[in-house]
Amino acid sequence: MAHLRGMGRTLNILHVLRAPVGGLFRHVLDLSRGQIAHGHRVGLIADASTGGAWAEESLAQLAPQLALGMSRVEMSRHLGLRDIAAASHVARCAAQAEADIVHGHGAKGGAYARLLTSRLALTPHGGSLHFAWNSPAGFLYLASERLLMPRTELFLFESEYGRCAFERKLGESGTLARVVHNGVRPDEFAPILPVPEATDLVFVGELRTLKGVDVLIEAIAALMRRGKHVTATVVGDGPDRGAFEALTKARALVQLVRFVGAKPARTGFALGRLLVVPSRAESLPYVVLEGAAAAVPMIATRVGGIAEIFGAEASALIDPGDAEGLARAIAHALSHPAAATDAAGRLQQRIRMAFGVDAMTQAVLAAYGEALAIHNQG
């Protein structure tokens, strides 16, 4: 990154996010480590009340490497008076760190990063873009996003889909915008073998309606009505777990579908022979990248940036919310395991070539360089 260091010094980069959970948190961790490895000084600000054990362990491991430190502050999920204090805290940290780049992630992280600071980058990660203008909450969040657009010097989208969704809902940004796909680490290409008690299917992710677990349950029920008893393991937790367990009971699938709680993705992948990603909406989901990197046979929906991950294999994607279509895809994959394995191998090679974490880091740093050059010219 000589063109950045040629500016006279290493960059001071401050990442701001709300909840240290899910793919957004994973992205920030990988990006921070990559930027540190490239010689830059990095800091992190996150909510003080969310995360869980895995997040605390991950942050503890990263903290000694953060030259600009780590700060936790109360960040509310929805708009409220706490936002004033949180935004002020971010501004103070940015000033103390003499940050060259304040990189906000998600709706809240992006808002805090832009309200009271300068030299700003934003990665939406879905965020406000999951809302629609015709709902009260959507109007509030999207209107706020539009007001903050002039205070954003660089938009980074993790998928072309995300960029198009942004422009469709908010119009062209009028400033620098780049698409940088999420990336996976070299160790994630190690093969995963199903455990002896593995079920036919496995779902790995947050248990909420957006992720389509109910569609998977209905697909398994449809297969059972045809005399096909397909087993599944649901890995994850979330606000709709109770509803999904109730649906499993209502469809008489308790003996076929088991819920095992949250586990690391690779641990979860080993609990089934075929990964199912039945999401109704996504941006560029890490679970698909991680499963593809490990050559796990997979069925996924045609939503968000998933087609960008699959490339030439995207014709195999199915429509979201279509339980019958999902049932047909599951039956075909289970009856043609060699074909499913071959497709997984081809997808793994695509991930190896185009979705590495170092390529992601370098592309983000290059975008920072462009933004700083424009800023300095102004």
Domains of the chain: residue spans and CATH:
2-183+356-377 (3.40.50.2000), 187-354 (3.40.50.2000)
Give 365's contacts (C-beta < 8 A, 6+ positions apart): 1, 4, 11, 35, 38, 40
Above pLDDT 90, what percent of the chain? 72
Tell me how far apart the alpha carbons of residues 90 and 96 are, in angstroms, rounded to a whole number.
10
pLDDT, one tens digit per residue, over 189-213 is 999 999 999 999 999 999 999 999 9
Q: For residue 75, what are its two tokens?
A: 């960040």
Tell me how far apart the alpha carbons of residues 113 and 156 are, in angstroms, rounded to a whole number.
14
At 270 the three-state DSSP class reads coil
Task: Give mean pLDDT, residues 96-100.
Answer: 94
Task: Give mean pLDDT, residues 121-139.
Answer: 69
Tell me how far apart the alpha carbons of residues 93 and 96 are, in angstroms, rounded to a whole number.
5
Cross-strand pairs, 336 = none
Q: How confident is the model at residue 125 (pLDDT cuts 50, 70, 90)?
A: low
How many CB atoms are closer than 10 A to CB 98? 11
Which DSSP category does 193 fall into? P
How many CB atoms are closer than 10 A to CB 251? 17
Give 286's contacts (C-beta < 8 A, 6+ positions apart): 23, 26, 27, 182, 184, 265
The confidence score (pLDDT) of residue 126 equals 61
Helices (H), the chain: 2-5, 22-37, 53-62, 82-97, 106-115, 136-148, 160-170, 213-225, 241-250, 265-269, 286-293, 306-310, 323-335, 337-354, 357-377
Give 8's contacts (C-beta < 8 A, 6+ positions apart): none
The confidence score (pLDDT) of residue 378 equals 64
Tell me how far apart the alpha carbons of residues 281 and 376 are, in angstroms, rounded to a whole number.
38
The confidence score (pLDDT) of residue 40 equals 97
The confidence score (pLDDT) of residue 5 equals 42
- Predicted TM-score (pTM) of the model is 0.86
pLDDT, one tens digit per residue, over 15-32 is 999 989 888 899 999 999
CA distances from 274 to 277, 291, 322 (A): 10, 10, 18
Of 236, 231, 172, 234, the C-alpha closest to 199 is: 231
Angle, CA of 197, 214 and 166, to the nearest 5°: 115
Q: Phi, psi at residue 7, to the nearest 5°?
A: -75, -10
